[in-house]
Amino acid sequence: MDSVDVLIVGAGHGGAQAAIALRQGKFAGSIMMIGDEPELPYERPPLSKDYLSQAKSFDRILIRPAAFWAERHVEMRLGQPVIAVDAAAHRVTLADNSTVSYEHLIWATGGRPRKLPCPGGDLAGVHAIRTRADVDRLMGELSGAQRIAVIGGGYIGLEAAAVLAKMGKTVTVFEALDRVLARVAGEPLSRFYEAEHRAHGVDVCLNARIEAIEGDGDRPIGVRMAGGEIIPADIVIVGIGILPAIEPLRAAGAACSNGVDVDAQCHTSLPDIFAIGDCAAHASRFADGQTIRLESVQNANDQATVVARTILGEAVEYEAVPWFWSNQYDLKLQTVGLSSGHDEALLRGDPANRSFSVIYLKGGRVIALDCVNAVKDYVQGRALVVGRLSPDRAQLTDVNVPLKSLAA
């Protein structure tokens, strides 16, 4: 049986950053990373952007080159999952029945794509976009396909739609709600992105009630709607969210809600076990103290750094302001703060100029900004979010008034 000082389960963004931050902090103990994907840690955001469009090869999206991990003595065990955790014995079991014992365990397993809960949802031509293998499989089918159905009008679905529309595919986005990005953004942003996609030839089907994916053998041929209409599709891409990959920890007795519950240092309820990234649920002051799970590179990296520093003996707490980005066509969206629960959405700038921001207020205080091709607003607006400031609305919406002048 192997024994290590720090065992990291999940070789993605959070896992990689935990190892990097430990070595940066001069941690001299042994580190092992176990990942169920066969690849070294790589960046996930390009999977629906530059990797899908083939603007970037896989080598260019590795978080660090192979030599980096070897030089820093981070042992990699890739290609198989941890299937059980024995918290009392400080030991995990892998799928091949081997075991590894640890002093500290960092659980960084992200999430698994939700499956389409309708007949035909498991046909071979129905794809998720979560891993390199998912996207390689999708790309392998693209040359023989023209009509693409994207189910889910969230960021990943819309990014994929943008790439595929630019490739000349006939793309339809199906969204169950009455606007795209409804769970993450305000109405002005949703309408703007809907219009952009339509302008690029993407059909956007809102309030979509999908009954089944029609197939011929194991290949999809169309999406059947509740009214019986069938919209032809050669490939179906499903982007309807993830479920946190936490079963071994839950089975070990960890307190779980919508993810593994963690405190301000990312401790779980089990001794010497931390959880970070997409799978961890934490109380956030940017969500009025509610327990939330964030799915962003920033959150995974910042929580990883907090855990590394905690292991190194520092007194730190996770309270980083959430931020996120999305690239679609020539639009760079940057988000700071969390807009859910806002009671006002102010428009700063004119969407017709393709450079504007939506400023979200709750009780008159700024809680988030969505900035489209408006990097200055994004950078300067951060202080408004962190301070939960309540500047004059007329000034907030006046593009001639720099946001930094309102944060003083």
CB of residue 309 vs ligand FAD: minimum separation in angstroms?
17
Contacting residue, 47, 63, 85, 150, with ligand FAD by CB under 6 A: 47
Between the alpha carbon of residue 10 and those of residues 76, 110, 222, 236, 376, the distances in Å are: 10, 7, 36, 28, 35
Nearer to ligand FAD (CB atom), residue 44 or residue 224? 44
> How far apart are the C-alpha atoms of 371 and 357, rounded to whole Å?
4
Question: Are 342 and 186 within 8 A, CB to CB?
Answer: yes
Query: Hey, what amino acid is at 231?
Result: I
Supply 215's token pair: 């197939």
Nearer to ligand FAD (CB atom), residue 45 or residue 391? 45
Contacting residue, 40, 61, 85, 108, with ligand FAD by CB under 6 A: 108
CB of residue 79 vs ligand FAD: minimum separation in angstroms?
9
372 contacts ligand FAD (rule: CB under 6 A): no
CB of residue 141 vs ligand FAD: minimum separation in angstroms?
17
β-pair type (365-372, 344-350): unpaired
CB of residue 90 vs ligand FAD: minimum separation in angstroms?
17
The sign of the torsion formed by the CA atoms of 310, 315, 317, 321 equals negative
Of residues 285 through 344, those in contact with ligand FAD by CB under 6 A are 295-298, 300, 324-326
Binding mask 68-87 for ligand FAD (x = CB under 6 A): -------------xx-----
β-pair type (355-362, 344-350): antiparallel
CB atoms within 10 A of CB 65: 11
CB of residue 367 vs ligand FAD: minimum separation in angstroms?
18
Query: 31 in helix, strand or coil?
Result: strand
From 365, 364, 305, 355, select the one nearest 334 (Cα to Cα): 355
β-pair type (111-113, 126-127): unpaired
β-pair type (170-174, 235-238): unpaired
CB of residue 131 vs ligand FAD: minimum separation in angstroms?
6
Binding mask 17-46 for ligand FAD (x = CB under 6 A): -----------------xxxx------xx-
Contacting residue, 194, 234, 261, 278, with ligand FAD by CB under 6 A: 278
Contacting residue, 14, 220, 322, 349, with ligand FAD by CB under 6 A: 14
Taking each continuous run of H as one helix and of E as one strand, the counts in the chain are 9, 26
Supply 78's token pair: 């890739």
Nearer to ligand FAD (CB atom), residue 46 or residue 391? 46
With contacts defined by CB under 6 A, name the span among 103-111, 170-178, 363-371, 391-399 that binds ligand FAD.
Answer: 103-111
Chain contacts with ligand FAD (rule: CB under 6 A):
9-15, 34-37, 44-45, 47-48, 81-82, 108-110, 129-130, 156, 245, 248, 277-278, 295-298, 300, 324-326
